[in-house]
Amino acid sequence: MMGDRGGKLLKLTRFLRKYWLSAVLAPLFMLLEVFMDLLQPQFMASIVNDGIIAGDLTAIASTAPKMLIAALIGLIAGVGCTVFSTIASQNFGADLRQELFQKIQSLSLRSLDRFGSGSIVTRLTGDVTQIQSLVLLLLRVFARSSFIIIGSLVMAFVISPRLSIILLAMIPLLALFLIITTRITVPLFSMMQHRLDQVNTVMQENLSGIRVVKAFVRSDYEEERFNETNSNLLHASLKAAKIVALNTPLVSIILNFSIVAALWYGGMLTEHGALSVGSLAAFLTYITQLLFSTLGLGNQLIAISRAKASADRINEILEVPADKWTAERKANEQSKKIQAGRITFDHVSFSYEGSEKNILHDIDLDIEPGETIGIVGINGSGKSTLVSLIPRFYEATEGMIRIDSHPINEIASVELHGQIGMVLQQAHLFSGTIRENISYGKPDASQDEIEAAAKAAEAHAFIMKLENGYDTLLGQRGVNLSGGQKQRLSIARTLLLKPKIVILDDCTSAVDLRTDLLIRKSLQEIMKSSTCLIIGQRIASVQQANRIIVLEDGRITAIGTHQELLEQSKLYQKMAFSQQGA
């Protein structure tokens, strides 16, 4: 388990390749700094033995400048290490974050549903920061601790091989303790990150639905829900913290015992003339440096354990197999083009991942180019799922979908999405100006094109009433607009592209009937050469369609014109009559 996670951590080192020079220079500068630090006890021993005990002030005067020069060189080397380690770690983090974001953009909705938005945000922010901090730690602090341990051990053996026996007994004991601590903490940190995912998910759901929370006076419930997830995170954090808290005192006991043993045995050697006082002082300095660096190394190994958990979560996203269309597009460079917009469902069934129940059952349908198809049914009948299969947001479980006689898996995603315009009921707008939102799919669109699309979507009038018109800045998700205004901007955004296939998923539910009628008339004129699929809760939204599909429990139970369905479909009759009565 540990080896697998360590391997996943090593996989991420590829993001350091571009910055290999900084990654190499940082520990080299640290090595120089440590070398200068290791010289200081030797200089001090010389001052004690040759200067103070011998009473030779000249020896002290000649050694002191050497100590200052070594300290200055060490200071410069330390600054160099800090600079280069920062360059390497910051660029590493930026590149890792960029690739992770690109990978997320390429994932299918099925994969995104599996991870969840809260978990993805945590991995993109907290987990990447954890790995980035580890790179900085390894290039500076870990390198320093390792060099001091090795250097102090060598210098201690040079001074007194007999006294160094204490180190040989202590180091294996410390190593065993650190290995056990690391093995225990890795699963605990994984649990912490999972609990943090849950906290982020609850926060995101609360903030995005804050109006619903306030409208239904459910603040107390949301506070309890957050308190539960927050408490779970707290308990996981405390459990990990207890293990970490034991690390320092237990290691300190071993270190202090080693120092006491060195003093006792070193005093005996000094008393018998086998070791000078200055050399004993230098040895104690080295062993103190070594032991405290070992203590620091223990804390750094815990940080590495935490980073291993983050690396595991990051690689889980990076290693998701490419979507089928990505692999198929690479294998088929001569991707098929959408010319007319004919759509064929050939015995298509669909079920969500992990579910044995089909949402759609044996859909068999042929839609002619330029035809307008209405889709009606009660909630949960599979209307939105049906249209989501066309742009391959989800893959059909059984059967085949074709566009212009070509299986959609032979059409590159860029071509497929470029020729399918989709407007959802939940209009999603981005922070920025109205102009930027309308031209989102066509950034080089002229003002005339943008205004034409807005007029067709019955949005131009309300836009011009705003103080800054098309330059009006929108808040997050267009919070400063009404639901109907957001839907009209979403329609304008799609109309600007003039795609071959247009999918309108109940996209006028928030506008009044008069505006709905005007929008539909504009759509009939502008999109007369496009194949249109219109999902509507209102019969009025679909009754002018060439054909209307009635879905019940994922099955097509009737197809026909408005008048034909009034005679043939009981469900359609109920929907139509209930809305007429209203």
Residue 292 scores a pLDDT above 90: no
Which of 475 and 548 is assigned the larger pLDDT? 548
> Which pLDDT value is given to residue 331?
47
Whether pLDDT at 364 is above 70: yes
Residue-by-residue DSSP string for 494-538? HHTT--SEEEEESTTTTS-HHHHHHHHHHHHHHTTTSEEEEE-SS
Least confident of 64-73, 219-228, 326-335, 455-464: 326-335
Q: What are phi and psi of 39, to 5 degrees?
A: -75, -25
Check pLDDT > 70 for residue 1: no
Q: What is the mean pLDDT of residues 481-503?
A: 85
Name the average pLDDT for the chain. 81
- What number is the average pLDDT over the span 95-119? 81
pLDDT per residue as tens digits for the range 398-450: 999 999 888 888 888 778 888 888 887 777 788 888 898 888 888 888 999 99
| DSSP code string of 228-256 | HHHHHHHHHHHHHHHHHHHHHHHHHHHHH
* Range in 128-142, 263-277, 533-547 with the lowest mean pLDDT: 263-277
| Crossing angle between the packed helical segments 277-318 and 57-106, to the nearest 10 degrees | 10
Range of lowest pLDDT (270-284, 306-320, 551-565):
270-284
Poorest-confidence range of 233-242, 326-335, 437-446, 494-503? 326-335
This prediction has a pTM of: 0.68
> 60-73: per-residue pLDDT in tens?
777 788 889 988 99
Give the single-character DSSP code of 472.
P
- Using an 8 Å Cβ cutoff, are 488 and 511 in contact? yes
Q: Which residue has the higher pLDDT, 236 or 299?
A: 236
150-156 — which CB contacts under 8 Å span 24+ positions?
Answer: 151/34, 151/35, 151/38, 152/38, 152/286, 152/287, 152/289, 152/290, 152/293, 153/286, 153/290, 155/38, 155/41, 155/42, 155/282, 155/286, 156/283, 156/286, 156/287, 156/290
- Tell me the C-alpha distance between 325 and 332, whole Å: 10
Contact indicator for 135, 355 with CB cutoff of 8 Å: no
Query: Which pLDDT belongs to residue 414?
Result: 78
Residue 329: pLDDT band (50, 70, 90) is very low
- Of the pLDDT bands very low, low, confident and very high (cuts 50, 70, 90), residue 582 is very low
pLDDT surpassing 50 at residue 25: yes
Question: Average pLDDT for residues 119-142, to the nearest whole number?
Answer: 86
For residue 530, give both structure tokens: 């496009």
Task: In whole angstroms, give the CA distance from residue 299 to residue 295.
Answer: 7
Residue-range domains of the chain with CATH: 2-321 (1.20.1560.10), 427-498 (3.40.50.300)
| Residue 62 CA: distances (Å) to CA of 38, 43, 47, 58, 68 | 18, 10, 9, 6, 11
pLDDT at 547: 92
Determine the pLDDT at residue 29: 94
Q: Is the pLDDT of residue 4 over 60?
A: no
Per-residue pLDDT at 212: 64
Residue 296's pLDDT is: 77
Which pLDDT score, from 0 to 100, does residue 423 have? 81
- Burial category of 564 from C-beta neighbours within 10 Å (exposed 0-12, middle 13-18, buried 19 and up): middle
Note the pLDDT of residue 509. Answer: 64
pLDDT band at 51 (very low <50, low <70, confident <90, very high): low
User: Do residues 74 and 36 make contact, with C-beta atoms less than 8 angstroms apart?
Assistant: yes
Give the other-Cβ count within 10 Å of 312's Cβ: 21
H or E stretch including 361? strand 360-367
Confidence tier at 216 by pLDDT (50, 70, 90): low
Return the higher-pLDDT residue of 106 and 143.
Answer: 143
DSSP string, 69-117: HHHHHHHHHHHHHHHHHHHHHHHHHHHHHHHHHHHHHHS-HHHHHHH-H
The pLDDT assigned to 415 comes to 80
What is residue 92's predicted lDDT score, i.e. its pLDDT?
Answer: 93
Write down the pLDDT at residue 344: 92
Q: Where are the alpha helices (DSSP H) in 209-218?
A: 210-215
**CA end-to-end span of the chain, whole Å?**
63
For residue 2, pLDDT beyond 90: no
